[in-house]
Amino acid sequence: MRQVKTLGLLGTGVIGGGWAARVLHFGIDVIAADVKPEMEEWIRGAVANAEGALARLTFAPLPPKGRLSFTTDLHAMARQADFIQENIPEQLELKQRVLAEVSRHAPPDVVIASSTSGLMPSELQRDMSAPERFLVAHPFNPVYLLPLVELVGGQRTSAATLEAASHFFRYIGMHPLRVRREVPGHLTDRLQEALWREILHMVNEDVATTGELDDSIVYGPGLRWAAMGTNLIYHLAGGETGMRHMLRQFGPCLKWPWTKLEAPELTEGLIDKMVAGTQAQAAGRSIRELERLRDDYLVAIQQVLKQYNIGAGATLRALEERLYEDAGGPARAALSAGRPDGEPLRVLETRVRPEWIDYNGHMTDSRYLQVFGDATDALFRYAGIDDAYRRSGRAMYTVETHVMHKAEARALEPLYVTTRILETDDKRVRLLHALHRQRDEGLVATAEQVYLHVSAPPGKASAMDAAVRARLAAIQAAQASGAAAAAPTRA
């Protein structure tokens, strides 16, 4: 299977717009294909609406944003895409026909995935060319923030396809959950459907309003579900003996007539109750306003969970580790290529993200520190101070920073950072960073920083690893000798 540089969207809509926003944010181009030309404006609006939340999801260095293009020619999209994600209406015969048609134009090594929320992959791949490269990849709205994607293979889906899809979705910061075998509704929708049926029954019987039922989740189990699922939560409910005690104590309740497995008839009266209830909850706010509110709290929850490395926070932490590792690529490449002595290392390439701009239209002060910190991280990763090193209880702490501003940096301005090691010993490193504009090599700012090597416990300065020290010292010596050789001599 090929490296995914361009994602083809077969159909747009809410889910297609979510896919586009996510992959564009992480540097992958998107060709959106829809038979309705008016959907181009819609999907561009959906991507723009998602940018604010995505910009706050992670502050790790990002690759240049991907490019979005639109076409009504499904065949042209299929010929150009490295991975195709189908998002057309949930109608089996329509999906079968369009998937079969597109598969005859896509190269045989291009994975084709369906966002279907419940159809069986074996039925969807029935008439396709190279059906072994097809699978279901079912996401959750909003796709650009929720990391879960259910992967379901059909009878003719290959193991290589499932593995390639898992790799791609992890690359864009998602949590691929492989479903062991195909079942209607996959996993999550079956669980959601059970809760949804009970909601309809209780509203229909005037037991509660939609708002009261949402409160029963928001203020209780919903908070627990953000990091631990129902099963682990119930395991905790059993005390020291866990799930076994919980089932023995509360298992008999399953025989009580609390729930109703069959959904009630969707009468006009029930529909009116559901509509009136949700409109009251919306309190006059538009769908776009509610989407932004939802996005804001989803970002905040994932940032909190990241501190504990659990649930969606663990997925976000893994994504950030890859982004930092990728950002260190220029430093590794420069050092591997044997830069001429005396030259500072070009350790980081970035751009001024729109959310970095202050009220004067320039990059705000705190972001200079972030960029210089990312440059230091790239250099230290080359030297061996990476995530594994930090997990061993050792890290470099900033003890001094001196920033000088030379020129302005505006939104979307491409930038790069060069770094020189001025001094290093067993416990200390002193660096000089220079931030430049790419368009004219203009100097934007400099930063001189001092870092101290610390071990925890006891949280005191300590000697760094010998291999790390040797790499940093080698760079310093090469830069110092080169700079001395390049200096003018007195007559």
Q: What is the CATH classification number for the domain harbouring 220?
A: 1.10.1040.10
Burial classification of residue 244, based on how many CB atoms lie within 10 Å of its CB (0-12 exposed, 13-18 middle, 19 or more buried): exposed
The C-alpha angle with vertex 57 and arms to 51 and 62, in degrees rounded to 5, equals 75
Q: Is residue 416 part of a domain?
A: yes
**SS3 for 376?**
helix
Q: State how far the alpha carbon of 273 is from the alpha carbons of 199, 209, 270, in Å.
A: 12, 8, 5
Please tell me whether residues 360 and 443 are part of one structural domain: yes
Please tell me whether residues 31 and 103 are part of one structural domain: yes
Contacts for 412 with CB less than 8 Å, ≥ 6 apart: 351, 352, 354
- What would the two tokens of residue 394 be? 């050792």
Please tell me whether residues 374 and 386 are part of one structural domain: yes
- What would the two tokens of residue 120 be? 């069986």
Q: Is residue 318 part of a domain?
A: no
Angle between helices 230-237 and 243-250 (to 10 degrees): 80
pLDDT of residue 269: 92
Please tell me whether residues 174 and 194 are part of one structural domain: no
How many secondary structure helices (H) and strands (E) does the chain include?
18, 14
Please tell me whether residues 275 and 380 are part of one structural domain: no
Please tell me what DSSP assigns to residue 362. B
The beta strand positions in 82-146, using DSSP E, are: 83-86, 111-114, 134-138
Please tell me whether residues 165 and 26 are part of one structural domain: yes
Please tell me whether residues 160 and 203 are part of one structural domain: no
Q: Is residue 221 part of a domain?
A: yes
Asked if residue 178 has pLDDT above 60, the reply is yes
Count of Cβ atoms closer than 10 Å to residue 196 Cβ = 12
Q: Is residue 309 part of a domain?
A: no
Tokens 């042209």 label which residue? 76
> Model confidence at 25, in pLDDT bands (50, 70, 90)?
very high
Omega within 30 of 0 (cis) for the link into 457: yes
Asked if residue 314 has pLDDT above 90, the reply is yes
* Residue ending a domain, choose from 137, 171, 186: 186
Please tell me whether residues 140 and 32 are part of one structural domain: yes
On whether the CB atoms of residues 176 and 166 are closer than 8 A, the answer is yes
Range of the domain at 90: 6-186
pLDDT of residue 483: 59
Query: Do the strands 29-33 and 68-71 form a parallel or antiparallel pair, or are they unpaired?
Result: parallel
- Cα–Cα distance for residue pair 186/139, rounded to 1 Å: 11
Please tell me whether residues 242 and 163 are part of one structural domain: no
* Residue ending a domain, choose from 161, 186, 211: 186
Residue type, 34: D
* Residue ending a domain, choose from 261, 284, 307: 284
Residues in the chain: 491
Asked if residue 21 has pLDDT above 80, the reply is yes
> Model confidence at 245, in pLDDT bands (50, 70, 90)?
confident
Q: What value does the mean pLDDT take over residues 426-446?
A: 96
Please tell me what DSSP assigns to residue 1. -
- Cα–Cα distance for residue pair 190/198, rounded to 1 Å: 13
Backbone angles phi, psi at 411, to 5 degrees: -55, 135
CA atoms within 13 A on the CB side of 304: 9
pTM of the model: 0.85
Please tell me whether residues 238 and 371 are part of one structural domain: no
Q: Is residue 298 part of a domain?
A: no
pLDDT in tens, 358-412: 888 889 999 999 999 999 999 999 899 988 899 899 999 999 999 999 999 998 8
> Model confidence at 249, in pLDDT bands (50, 70, 90)?
confident
Please tell me whether residues 13 and 151 are part of one structural domain: yes
Please tell me whether residues 38 and 104 are part of one structural domain: yes
pLDDT in tens, 80-111: 999 999 999 999 999 999 999 999 999 999 99
Q: What is the CATH classification number for the domain harbouring 63?
A: 3.40.50.720
Query: Do the strands 414-424 and 345-351 form a parallel or antiparallel pair, or are they unpaired?
Result: antiparallel
Radius of gyration for the alpha carbons in the chain, expressed in angstroms and rounded: 27
Report CA torsion sign: 385, 387, 392, 398. Answer: positive
Contacts for 160 with CB less than 8 Å, ≥ 6 apart: 1
Omega within 30 of 0 (cis) for the link into 121: no
On whether the CB atoms of residues 132 and 156 are closer than 8 A, the answer is yes
- Residue whose C-alpha is closest to residue 117's, from 173, 223, 49, 196: 196
Asked if residue 489 has pLDDT above 50, the reply is no
- Cα–Cα distance for residue pair 196/263, rounded to 1 Å: 9
pLDDT of residue 231: 84
Give me the number of domains the chain comprises. Answer: 3
Q: What is the CATH classification number for the domain harbouring 480?
A: 3.10.129.10
On whether the CB atoms of residues 81 and 6 are closer than 8 A, the answer is yes
Q: Is residue 447 part of a domain?
A: yes
Q: Is residue 250 part of a domain?
A: yes
Q: Is residue 297 part of a domain?
A: no
Query: Do the strands 6-10 and 83-86 form a parallel or antiparallel pair, or are they unpaired?
Result: parallel
Asked if residue 354 has pLDDT above 90, the reply is no
